[in-house]
Amino acid sequence: MGSNPIARIFQILFQQRPSMLILFDLDGTLITSYMERPDRQYHRWQVLPNRRALLAQLRAEDHQLGIATNQGGVGLGFITQAAFYRKLGLVLEALELPCDLPVAVCFAHPQARRKEYRSPDALARRKPNPGMLLELAQNFSEAAAGGVLYVGDKPEDRQAARAAGADFAWAEDFFDQE
């Protein structure tokens, strides 16, 4: 972390807390967002700056990391679940994260054609709803007892964190992006 005062505050927070559950959004937070590409190419992405080093540092400090991501493109029929999992594997590898990192994913979308992708239960997991964050906090209750932080790039990420009772950080602040 550099001179960004917000990044310094996070650094101090982490030094004081022995272990937390730190969850990340995926697109636009850890990797480039395909939604912001003019061609919307799902398989063209890059790891964003500073991610690898800071994630490694957080793991070395014994924080439990995880990912919570909306992938409504599946519900809308633009991509398949298999395409998502293929990409996820490559992303974890590129980020030097373990392949069994906890990942909560929501394929639902309110405009999905198939009913299974727009049922109330499925949509309750979709951000800005807190379902995925609550799931991960429940599954990793020991780390969550030290605090839950969600890092994202969109207002719905912040809303989901608030609804889950978690702290929130904007990705560009957390990763001290210039």
Positions touching Mg ion (CB under 5 A) are 25, 27-28, 153-154
Cβ 151 to Mg ion shortest distance, Å? 10
Min dist. Cβ of residue 25 to Mg ion (A): 4
CB of 8 to Mg ion, least distance (A): 24
Of the candidates 173, 158, 28, the residue with the CA atom closest to the CA atom of residue 91? 28
Nearer to Mg ion, 153 or 176 (CB): 153
Q: What angle do CA 47, 110, 170 make, to 5 degrees?
A: 35
Where helices occur in the chain by DSSP H, the ranges are 5-16, 51-60, 72-75, 81-94, 120-124, 131-139, 141-144, 155-164, 171-174
What is the spatial distance between Cα 6 and Cα 175, in angstroms, rounded to a whole number?
Answer: 10
Residue nearest to Mg ion (CB): 28
Provide, rounded to whole angstroms, the least separation between the CB of residue 105 and Mg ion.
13
Q: Between residues 19 and 177, which has the closer beta carbon with respect to Mg ion?
A: 177
CA distance 58 to 47: 17
Do residues 20 and 59 lie in contact, with contact meaning Cβ atoms separated by under 8 Å?
A: no
Q: Closest CB to Mg ion among 11 and 159?
A: 159
Residue number with CB closer to Mg ion (61 or 156): 156
